[in-house]
């Protein structure tokens, strides 16, 4: 891993793995699938737990050889590419319970940078060893396909976001998406901290910083949100959905 602050990889027992996977994307690769004890033990052997990445440091950089998938255990990441004009373009934000690195499977090199937005911890899964295990455990391979398909659907959603929506709709969709993702993880759906800057949000949504700031202010004036620095409280979910559906005034 490029630039990441790595703590020594520790031996992990079967019991510890079950605890570790209970709140991250690894549960999608093992726990709900009803793997046998032996199958679970095989999966356990290829996962490195407790790899820490400090805020602002890269997990990997564009162009580096692809070796592993990474499950976000705790923390928040952004993925970026370099635009033609030399500016950084944000392509996504990843939180706990999501996989990073799928972009490199086809080319065997990473096509983007993955950078920690806060002190984070990931679980590293060497892909060649995961492939071997998938051939032995078909149900694991099937579930990996489902994870990859979900990422494709998410990419399609971003394309729709940037192609067909007005600025207000883009930000409303972004906030509603974050709300849903936090809720799935057992956090509040109506009050959360934005780990990314307004500029990074604008880069992701294809909006200027001034536009993002203006819409946040407008949403607050309309009683949809309460914003304090990076903390956002959603006061009117229905109003945000109405904005997303183009039902609110422009």
Which residue, of 108, 127, 150, is where some domain finishes? 150
123 and 21 co-located in one domain? yes
| Other CB atoms within 10 A of residue 184 CB | 11
Give the total number of structural domains in the chain: 2
178 and 115 co-located in one domain? no
What integer pLDDT is reported at residue 104 of this predicted model? Answer: 92
The reply to whether 160 falls in a domain is no
Residue 96 domain boundaries: 14-150
**Cα–Cα distance for residue pair 56/113, rounded to 1 Å:** 12
Could you give the percent of the chain with pLDDT greater than 90? 46
Between helix 198-205 and helix 167-184 the angle, nearest 10°, is: 110
204 and 85 co-located in one domain? no
The reply to whether 113 falls in a domain is yes
If DSSP states are collapsed to H, E and C, what string results for 44-96?
HHHCEEEEEECCCCEEECCCCECCEEEEEEECEEEEEEECCCCCEEEEEEEEC
The reply to whether 9 falls in a domain is no
| Other CB atoms within 10 A of residue 3 CB | 15
| Ramachandran area for residue 50 (φ above 0: left; ψ -120 to 50: alpha; else beta) | left
pLDDT at 146 over 60: yes
CATH no. for residue 103? 2.60.120.10
142 and 181 co-located in one domain? no
What integer pLDDT is reported at residue 233 of this predicted model? Answer: 97
The reply to whether 155 falls in a domain is no
Query: CA nearest 53: which of 99, 7, 92?
Result: 7
Which residue, of 118, 150, 182, is where some domain finishes? 150
pLDDT at 128 over 70: yes
Q: What is the pLDDT of residues 221-241, one digit of tens each?
A: 999 999 999 999 999 999 999
Query: CA nearest 47: which of 122, 149, 119, 104?
Result: 122
169 and 146 co-located in one domain? no
Highest average pLDDT, of 82-96, 102-116, 123-137, comes from 102-116
**Cα–Cα distance for residue pair 107/75, rounded to 1 Å:** 27
Stretch 176-203: mean pLDDT: 92
**Cα–Cα distance for residue pair 246/248, rounded to 1 Å:** 6
Question: Which range is least confidently modeled, 53-57, 61-65, 86-90, 161-165?
Answer: 161-165
Which residue, of 94, 118, 150, is where some domain finishes? 150
96 and 129 co-located in one domain? yes
Alpha-carbon distance values, 226 to 117, 182, 223 (Å): 23, 17, 7
């Amino acid at each position: 891993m490029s630039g990441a602050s790595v703590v020594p990889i520790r031996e992990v027992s079967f019991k510890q793995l079950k605890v570790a996977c209970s709140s991250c994307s690894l549960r999608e690769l093992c726990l709900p699938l009803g793997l046998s004890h032996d199958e679970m033990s095989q999966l356990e052997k290829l996962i490195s737990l407790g790899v820490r990445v400090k805020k602002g440091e890269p997990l990997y950089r564009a162009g580096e050889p692809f070796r592993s998938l990474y499950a976000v255990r705790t923390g928040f990441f952004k993925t970026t590419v370099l635009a033609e004009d030399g500016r950084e373009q944000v392509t996504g934000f990843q939180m706990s319970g999501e996989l990073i690195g799928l972009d490199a499977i086809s080319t065997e090199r990473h096509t983007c940078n993955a950078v920690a937005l806060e002190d984070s911890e990931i679980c590293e899964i060497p892909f060649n060893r995961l492939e071997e295990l998938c051939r032995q455990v078909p149900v694991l391979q099937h579930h990996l396909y489902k994870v990859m398909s979900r990422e494709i659907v998410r990419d399609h959603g971003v394309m729709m976001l940037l192609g067909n929506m007005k600025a207000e709709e883009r930000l409303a969709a972004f906030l509603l998406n974050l709300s849903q993702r936090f809720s799935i993880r057992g956090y509040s759906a109506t009050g959360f901290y934005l780990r990314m800057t307004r500029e990074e949000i604008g880069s992701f949504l294809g909006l200027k910083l001034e536009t993002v700031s203006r819409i946040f202010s407008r949403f607050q004036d309309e009683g949809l949100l309460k914003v304090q620095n990076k903390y956002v409280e959603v006061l009117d979910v229905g109003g945000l959905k109405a904005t997303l559906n183009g039902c609110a005034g422009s």
